[in-house]
Amino acid sequence: MATFVDRVVLHVTGGDGGHGSASIRREKFKPLAGPDGANGGRGGDVVLEVDPSTTTLLSYHHKPHQRASSGDFGKGDMRHGSRGEDLILPVPDGTVVADKDGNVLVDMVGTGTRFVAARGGQGGLGNAALASPKRKAPGFALLGEPGQERSLVLELKSVADVALVGYPSAGKSSLIAAMSAARPKIADYPFTTLVPNLGVVEAGEHRFTVADVPGLIPGASSGKGLGLDFLRHIERCHVIVHVLDAAALESDRDPVKDLETIEGELAAYAGRLDEEAEDRTPLMERPTVVVLNKTDVPDGADMADLVRDRLAERGVPVFEVSAVSRSGLRELGFALAELVEEARARLPEPEAAPIVLTPRAVGVKEFEVVTEQYDGDKAYRVVGDKPERWVRQTDFSNDEAVGYLADRLATLGVEDQLYKVGAVAGSTVVIGPGQDAVVFDWEPTMVGGAEMLGRRGTDRRVEDNHRPTRDEKREDQKARVAARMDRLAAMEEERRAGHWADPAIDDQED
């Protein structure tokens, strides 16, 4: 069973907003005392937060779907719905968040760093909030918006001061175990280390972290072996330590050739890395140290004598150590501490994150009408944040709510724009993107199916004081009967002409 995961695809969903309430206050001697429906609560956000106690993305490997709680719905008597709780997801320090297309959204470095992965939906307004001098008694409320849905790619890049690189079985795990309290798996076969190990090393008053990266082989920069899966864990290091096996069992290998191979793989990987991170010191220009390991055995000591001068020509510090006898580790620790302190001193001073104000854009279109094909016919799609949000908030089972939506769209200028692009009565109009869009036949002469209503919250029938006379009622009744008889006669004529099929006859024929 996996115990370390450094890359996951996380599907996050913000909480849905609560629906608003359509309620009328009732008091003694005042059966209709005005609207008192309250607003729904906002849905909770999904927030990623750097937690020092979290070292892996394993929990999201097992549970890739995360959802925040939804807001409560509004109630009568002005009782607003409660807000949904935010879902805080802890991630390790050094986690990089990207979208499905690979675009980096945030690089989470530093304890407490936060990123809102998915925002909760806004709560719907109650009819009390929708009331106005022209709409005194709204009989509807707005629905809450659904929470934002996103699929994110999380990659962990270890935050360490020193990275140990080298061939498999070069003794990197033994070295980090001897220098720190880390206890990685150690064995005498290749690729013993399958996950990066972190250790804390103390050298006098100095303290720094060391990462033991799984062994690299020729072709690692193109994905061979463990390759790219763990090369990213050396991106943030200040110092690179090449651990060379001075007592390699293979006769065709020597430490210098191993060093040249690993440097070639790092250079190939650094080409892509340095293009993405312009503010970071290029990987191949960072301080480098060479460590000849396993010099406690005779073959290792002899090999160290043979390659010592060749390595010194490169102009990098060379240390001969033994993780078993611990010889040379003290000198190595103090040398690395000095290099780390120098690298830290060159880092720019951390700056507080600026407060970003995003004012409403001026002169930007709030919507646009696009002509396209829908089910083989010509359709007009209305695209824009406002129209799409209004559609999501509308209760289409309520005629007054649909009429309110029609008024909002007309005020925004949607009907005028539809006329300009050539839409006519009966044209197919689509509002919103994708398959979740609302489709309807446009009827510009009707006000959302509530043609009997005047201003929202009023009814013309209440203001009509005319009472029909007996003769007017009789004439109206005769007209309705005559219209009904005409419809029946037309239906009978169509049946006789064979335009209708008899289900009983069709069933016998089948």
pLDDT in tens, 252-277: 667 888 888 888 877 777 765 555 55
Q: Report yes or no: 242 and 166 within 8 Å, Cβ to Cβ.
A: yes
- What pLDDT shows up at residue 191? 44
- What pLDDT shows up at residue 271? 65
Whether 266 has a binding-site annotation, put simply, is no
pLDDT tops 70 at residue 192: no
Percent of the chain with pLDDT over 70: 79
CA distances for 29 relative to 25, 26, 32, 35, 76, angstroms: 12, 9, 9, 16, 19
- What pLDDT shows up at residue 153? 92
Whether 168 has a binding-site annotation, put simply, is yes
- What pLDDT shows up at residue 449? 41
- Range of weakest confidence among 381-395, 427-441, 454-468: 454-468
- Range of weakest confidence among 350-359, 405-414, 446-455: 446-455
Whether 167 has a binding-site annotation, put simply, is yes
- What pLDDT shows up at residue 254? 78
Whether 293 has a binding-site annotation, put simply, is yes
Picking from 149, 137, 143, the residue whose alpha carbon sits closest to that of residue 73 is: 143
Whether 82 has a binding-site annotation, put simply, is no
Whether 478 has a binding-site annotation, put simply, is no
**What are the structural domain ranges in the chain?**
1-156, 162-346, 368-463, 470-509
What is the distance between the alpha carbons of residues 193 and 214, in angstroms, rounded to a whole number?
A: 5
Whether 70 has a binding-site annotation, put simply, is no
Condensed to tens digits (0 to 9), the pLDDT of residues 197-250 reads 777 788 888 888 888 776 565 544 444 444 445 566 677 788 888 888 887 755
Whether 321 has a binding-site annotation, put simply, is no
Whether 212 has a binding-site annotation, put simply, is yes
- What pLDDT shows up at residue 190? 45
Average pLDDT, the chain: 79
Condensed to tens digits (0 to 9), the pLDDT of residues 4-50 reads 577 899 999 999 999 999 998 888 777 677 889 999 999 999 999 99
Q: Report yes or no: 237 and 211 within 8 Å, Cβ to Cβ.
A: yes
Whether 170 has a binding-site annotation, put simply, is yes
pTM: 0.67
Percent of the chain with pLDDT over 90: 18
- Please calculate the CA angle 325-331-336 and round it to the nearest 5 degrees: 120
Whether 213 has a binding-site annotation, put simply, is yes
pLDDT tops 90 at residue 297: no
Residue range 157-165: mean pLDDT, rounded:
80
- What pLDDT shows up at residue 2? 46
Backbone angles phi, psi at 153, to 5 degrees: -110, 120
What kind of architecture, by CATH, is found in domain 1-156?
Answer: Distorted Sandwich (2.70)
Count how many residues are written for the chain.
Answer: 510
- What pLDDT shows up at residue 220? 45
Q: Report yes or no: 395 and 439 within 8 Å, Cβ to Cβ.
A: no
Phi-psi region of 387 (alpha: psi -120 to 50; beta: other; left: phi over 0): alpha
Q: Which one has a higher pLDDT value, 133 or 68?
A: 68
pLDDT tops 60 at residue 503: no
- Across-strand partners of 438? 431
Which of 385-409 are b and which e, b meaning 16 or more Cβ less than 10 Å from the residue's Cβ? eebbebbbbbbeeebbbbbbbbbbb
Whether 172 has a binding-site annotation, put simply, is yes
CATH number listed for the domain at residues 162-346: 3.40.50.300
Whether 171 has a binding-site annotation, put simply, is yes
Condensed to tens digits (0 to 9), the pLDDT of residues 96-124 reads 899 988 888 888 888 888 999 999 999 99
Whether 158 has a binding-site annotation, put simply, is no
Condensed to tens digits (0 to 9), the pLDDT of residues 461-491 reads 445 556 778 888 889 888 888 888 888 888 8
Whether 166 has a binding-site annotation, put simply, is yes
Whether 215 has a binding-site annotation, put simply, is yes
Condensed to tens digits (0 to 9), the pLDDT of residues 324-379 reads 888 888 898 899 999 988 888 887 766 655 666 666 666 667 888 888 887 778 88
Whether 209 has a binding-site annotation, put simply, is no
Whether 354 has a binding-site annotation, put simply, is no
Whether 180 has a binding-site annotation, put simply, is no
